[in-house]
Amino acid sequence: MSYEFVLTETRGRVGLVTLNRPKAMNALNNQLVRELMDALEAFDKDDNIGAMVVTGNEKAFAAGADIKEMSDKSLQQMMDNDLVGGFGRMMKIRKPVIAAVSGYALGGGCEVAMSCDMIVASETAKFAQPEITIGVIPGAGGTQRLTRAVGKAIAMEMILNNRTLSAQEALQFGLVNRVVPVERTLDEALKLADEIASRAPVAVRVAKKMINQAYELGLTDALNQERQEFYDLFATEDQKEGMKAFIEKRKPDWKGK
C-alpha cells in the first residue's frame, strides 16, 4: 500500500512506520492518522512481523493534531470526524509498538507516543499537552494515559498549565523507557523491537494484552484472567517448544502457534 504522510519499511521482523509530514512538524491531520493506523494494522496482520516502531524526524515526533484542519470545525463535524475513530484503532493493535521520539511530542503527538507500548526518547524529546493554550483539552487519552504514567501532580501541571517535560524528566516520571542520544534513538527502538520480535509471538501478544488490562480491570478479575491466559498458553506449540528447549539447553524455535 502506498501512503502520502507515512513511510513504511520492514527491518527483519520489525515493521517501521515513519510519520512524514515534516513541513508541518508531523501535525496529525485526518489522513496521516488514517495512514498510520492502516500501516500498523497491516503489520499487525503480517505473520512475518513481530513488533513495530513508530517514529518521526529529529525535530518532531508529532506536534499534535492539525490545528489548521480542525480550527473551523463545528461540534458535529468534530464528532463525525475520522480522527475520533482513528486514534481508537491503536488500542486494537495486538503486537508491541515502540515509539522512537525525538523533538516535539505535543498534544496528539504525545498521545500517539503514549498509545504505544514503550517509548524510547532521544535527549532532545519534549513531551507536552498544550491543548489548554488553544482553548481545549486533550482528546485522545492525554488526561487518562498521562495521569496513569506520571501521576496526578505532574499531569495537572502539564495539562492545566502546559508544562513541558524534557526527556530526562519524562524518564524520571516513568513516561518513557529510556533516553538515548538523538542519533541512536531509532536504532535503540529497532533493537528493542527486534529483541521482542524474536520472542514467543503468542505469549508476547497475550502479555501485552494482560499488562493493558491492569488499567481496565479490578485486581481480582485481572488476576483470574491472567491465570486463565497462562493456562491457555499450554495449548500452544511454543509453550512445549520453549520448555523443551530449556531442558535440552538450546535456543527455542518459535512457531507462533
Reply yes or no on whether 58 is catalytic: no
65 or 100: CB nearest ligand DAK? 65
62 neighbors 26 (Cβ within 8 angstroms): yes
Q: Look at the block and give the residue holding cell 524474536.
A: 198
25 or 197: CB nearest ligand DAK? 25
C-alpha of 65 from chain center? 16
159 neighbors 146 (Cβ within 8 angstroms): yes
Reply yes or no on whether 65 is catalytic: yes
65 or 197: CB nearest ligand DAK? 65
Q: Which of 108, 109, 141, 142 is catalytic?
A: 108
244 neighbors 234 (Cβ within 8 angstroms): no
Angle of CA points 6, 7, 11, to nearest 5°: 140
Compute the least distance from the CB of residue 117 to ligand DAK, in Å.
Answer: 19
99 or 190: CB nearest ligand DAK? 99
Reply yes or no on whether 131 is catalytic: yes
Residue nearest to ligand DAK (CB): 107
Please state whether 65 falls in left (phi above 0), alpha (psi between -120 and 50) or beta.
beta
Q: Which of 111, 113, 188, 203 is catalytic?
A: 111
C-alpha to C-alpha distance for 30 and 44, rounded to whole angstroms: 21
Compute the least distance from the CB of residue 136 to ligand DAK, in Å.
Answer: 7
C-alpha to C-alpha distance for 257 and 203, rounded to whole angstroms: 9
Grid cell for residue 43:
503489520
What is the contact surface with ligand DAK in residues (CB under 6 A)? Answer: 24-25, 27, 63-68, 78, 81, 83-84, 87, 104, 106-108, 111, 130-131, 134, 139-140
C-alpha to C-alpha distance for 240 and 232, rounded to whole angstroms: 12
Compute the least distance from the CB of residue 155 to ligand DAK, in Å.
Answer: 16
Strands 60-62 and 104-106: parallel
Reply yes or no on whether 111 is catalytic: yes
Q: Which of 35, 131, 188, 226 is catalytic?
A: 131
100 or 193: CB nearest ligand DAK? 100
> What's at 247, amino acid-wise?
I
Compute the least distance from the CB of residue 215 to ligand DAK, in Å.
Answer: 18
Compute the least distance from the CB of residue 255 to ligand DAK, in Å.
Answer: 38
Q: Known catalytic residues?
A: 65, 108, 111, 131
